[in-house]
A = this chain, B = another copy of it.
Amino acid sequence: MGVHDAMYVLGGKWKIYIITGLLFGPMRYSDLLRNITGISGKVLSRELKEMEINHLINRTVSSTQPVTVTYELTEYGESTKSIIGVLSEWGEDHREMIVKAK
C-alpha cells in the first residue's frame, strides 16, 4: 500500500510543517527554527537529517563567517506539493468541523 510509504517519509509531527516552510524557497536552519512554532533545535536537526537521507531536501553549507546552512526542497521534495495542497484545502474547507478532542 502506497499510504504506508508516504507515511514513512512524511509521517511524524513535523515533516509536513518543514516542507511547508520550504515551499516558497530555501531557508536557513535558524529561519526554520523561528518559523515552525513549537519545534526545538534538537528535533529540527534530527528531522532535517532524516529528510536529507530521504532525498526530500538538499543541505548547502556556505563557508562564510559565521557559517550559514540553507535547506531547500529537491525536485522529489517539491513533488509533495500535491499532498500539502490537498491537506491545506481540506483543512480550510472543514475548519468549522474541528472539535478539540485532545
Count of A interface residues, CB-CB < 8 Å: 41
Query: Which secondary structure dominates chain A's binding surface?
Result: helix
Contact assessment for B16 and A91 in the assembled complex, using a CB-CB cutoff below 8 Å: no
Given A11-B13, A90-B2, A102-B50, the answer on whether A97 and B76 have CB atoms closer than 8 Å is yes
Query: Chain B residues near A80 (CB, 8 Å)?
Result: 90
- Quick one: copies of this chain in the complex? 2
Residues facing B in A1-48 (CB within 8 A) are 1-11, 13, 16-17, 20
Indicate if A88 sits at the interface (CB-CB under 8 A). yes
A46 to chain B, nearest CB (A): 9
- Identify the A interface with B (CB < 8 A): 1-11, 13, 16-17, 20, 49-50, 53-55, 76, 79-80, 82-84, 86-95, 97-99, 101-102
- Report the nearest B residue to A20, measured CB to CB: B3
Contact of A6 (CB < 8 Å), options: B2, B6, B8, B90: B90
